[in-house]
A and B are shown apart, each in its own frame.
Chain A
């Protein structure tokens, strides 16, 4: 499986502010790559550099085999970009928008466009500027999925949307995978978890990790150790995060969970271990753990 999007040391600097710092990542074909991070982490900047909306300060990105700095015109026949910040041609009705965009795309599919309009319950004869925020996002997505793009880039598509609209968007996205590879930036972790196949975590412009969601979920565990003699070992392993100790129980997050190795390590470091419990963590908890630990480190 080849990569539809790769970046190598992609950086963006605004004077002294480092918005993106040497981002290197790869989006495999057919995957749904979720770029996570707190506000200001550099997600939108990364996507804009990939789409050639801004020039990178250094580094490079390749999108569908094309250097992102050359990306324009016909290259977008196979790329869809939907952003919460995008200005749509508000004077157009939905019907006219679809009619207008159709000749630009050789792979435009009228049936798919109609299907999406129906699925999203978009009024065809109303100007887009009179649409609600959710409807505008759906209109943008419908007009980007109607030509079966090979790559769909979504920048905070769920931000500020009601749960029902979010669900509708996710359904539409799930339908187009794996024909379409998706890169989505978001901090709506619960939604991402339901359909992302890969996760990248950005913090202060740096990619802390990027891997398959399954692998990520497998290596993070919330560990609860019951002890006879409560005491935190020193030195504390760096891959154990957020330690909490009560008189008989120690809790922490293991970031490199391996059943045998982790238990062995616990027994080695703690004395009087009576019980060990390793619980899988939802993505939200992993994200919060990472965010807090980087805040503490900072």
Chain B
């Protein structure tokens, strides 16, 4: 028997042995399709999208884990009592047989189920094919591979289950509790993905080649701890450097400067006793400020006497300027307001481009646009809403005159990730938006409405820009806190 023939032979044996577990998994996937499919007509009838979260999100991974553990432990690697150890088993053939089982009864059925959901939901399968495949990679690396590695280190379920629970408990805390890098989180997630794949493959390779379970377990533990430290300590500056390199920088004409031409002074006598609000308008040249998004900004004030203050600013686009509003402590402000101060702004910016638009009729007919996905109006019980749904990724943000920006961001919405999928079981992700304008409150408007225009832009540059303005008189930029203004 060749190695591959042997792998097929062992595979057939495992299928026979684990037929009930396999049948259970296929049944769960049928349930996933039946409960996961939401046609646009069905969505209209229900008055909006239903949550795709459910018990299957737990049941399927548990069932897969048990199948993998049972399959691998049929020819367990630790110990010296297993019959296969003194039979003419090829270790490569054995590993291949287990991989075949996982692909045949986990990856391929999930792929088919997800393809069915995408198609039946009315989303184009071909343009989501990359997401379909990448989702398999994510689920394989983040779930199946670690589970297979843990199964290869244990003799039976009594050892495997506590190890899984312990590992999950050890990893869940730090991963869930770490500070997110926002749009750059995908870079750290990719590192986590790489670490998980490397440790999983290392364990499987060592176990199937050497069967040194104790050594391999210590190696895996050490690698996991080192990987966690690397993952959690991954510097944001490095993530920024990678992102800038991936996405590019703006052209050389781009510049920011503090606009001191239209100073708006206010009567400060009723201002807050302890804090003072300051608004710095920053003018943009070399780019349309509407195409810019300030992801983060830090402003530093430095007086002639060397006193410095750092402040994080809230940024709004006002009259084509990026207005940075921040609060300074009263002592500093009063001391520095009339003397020249150097203002230094460090901004992290995203520039958008490649704008494209599409009109979506408000009569309930869905329209598909790459990015936001399938969008249209859905009539609910008391009002109409705008719904977009896409496969494997959250619908991309868009601009519209009739539809408000999304009111919430998905935690997983790594908008800068170049990968076409998030790890998901039900591939379709829906977002609900508010319709704006008079007719939006009516369930069935009498007058035909003009369609909503959605404008989708791609991020084309991600960069840091440092601007310095000397001899600034802080007092010229002081404003009354709008909240306090209202109170007065």
Interface residues of chain A, those whose CB is within 8 Å of chain B, are 48, 51, 53-54, 72-77, 79-81, 83, 85-89, 91, 96, 100-101, 103-105, 140
Cβ-defined contact, A103 with B83, below 8 A: no
Nearest residue, chain B, Cβ from A87: B81
Chain A CB within 8 A of B6 CB: yes
Q: Mark B80-101, 1 if CB is under 8 A from A, else 0.
A: 1111011111110000000000
Cβ-defined contact, A105 with B80, below 8 A: no
Cβ-defined contact, A87 with B87, below 8 A: no
Cβ-defined contact, A85 with B91, below 8 A: no
**Most chain A beta-carbon contacts within 10 A, residue among B1, B13, B81, B83:** B83
Contacts A76-B89, A140-B83 known; list 18 others, CB within 8 Å.
A51-B85, A53-B85, A72-B91, A73-B90, A73-B91, A74-B88, A74-B90, A75-B88, A76-B86, A76-B87, A76-B88, A85-B81, A89-B74, A91-B17, A104-B1, A104-B88, A104-B89, A105-B88
10 closest Cβ contacts across the A-B interface? A81-B86, A53-B80, A76-B88, A77-B88, A104-B88, A87-B81, A73-B90, A88-B83, A103-B1, A74-B88
Q: Report chain A residues within 8 Å CB of B5.
A: 103
Nearest residue, chain A, Cβ from B75: A89
Cβ-defined contact, A101 with B87, below 8 A: yes
Nearest residue, chain B, Cβ from A147: B88
Q: Mark B1-14, 1 if CB is under 8 A from A, else 0.
A: 10001100100010
Minimum CB–CB distance for A117 against chain B, Å: 17
Cβ-defined contact, A53 with B6, below 8 A: no
Interface residues of B in 64-117 (CB under 8 A from A): 74, 80-83, 85-91
Number of B residues near A (Cβ < 8 Å) is 19
> Would you list 21 pairs from A and B whose C-beta atoms are within 8 A, ordered by A residue?
A51-B85, A51-B86, A72-B89, A73-B89, A74-B88, A74-B90, A75-B88, A76-B88, A79-B86, A80-B86, A83-B81, A87-B81, A87-B82, A89-B83, A91-B17, A96-B16, A103-B5, A103-B9, A104-B6, A104-B9, A105-B88
Interface residues of chain B, those whose CB is within 8 Å of chain A, are 1, 5-6, 9, 13, 16-17, 74, 80-83, 85-91
A281 to B347, CA, bound (A): 98
Q: Report chain B residues within 8 Å CB of A140.
A: 83
Nearest residue, chain A, Cβ from B3: A73
Cβ-defined contact, A104 with B17, below 8 A: no
A86 to B86, CA, bound (A): 10
A127 to B90, CA, bound (A): 25
A76 to B82, CA, bound (A): 14
Minimum CB–CB distance for A42 against chain B, Å: 15
A104 to B97, CA, bound (A): 15
Q: Report chain B residues within 8 Å CB of A76.
A: 86-89
A85 to B5, CA, bound (A): 30
A86 to B79, CA, bound (A): 10
Minimum CB–CB distance for B428 against chain A, Å: 40
Minimum CB–CB distance for A46 against chain B, Å: 13
Q: Report chain A residues within 8 Å CB of B87.
A: 76, 101, 104
Nearest residue, chain B, Cβ from A144: B86
Nearest residue, chain B, Cβ from A78: B88
Q: Report chain B residues within 8 Å CB of A88.
A: 83
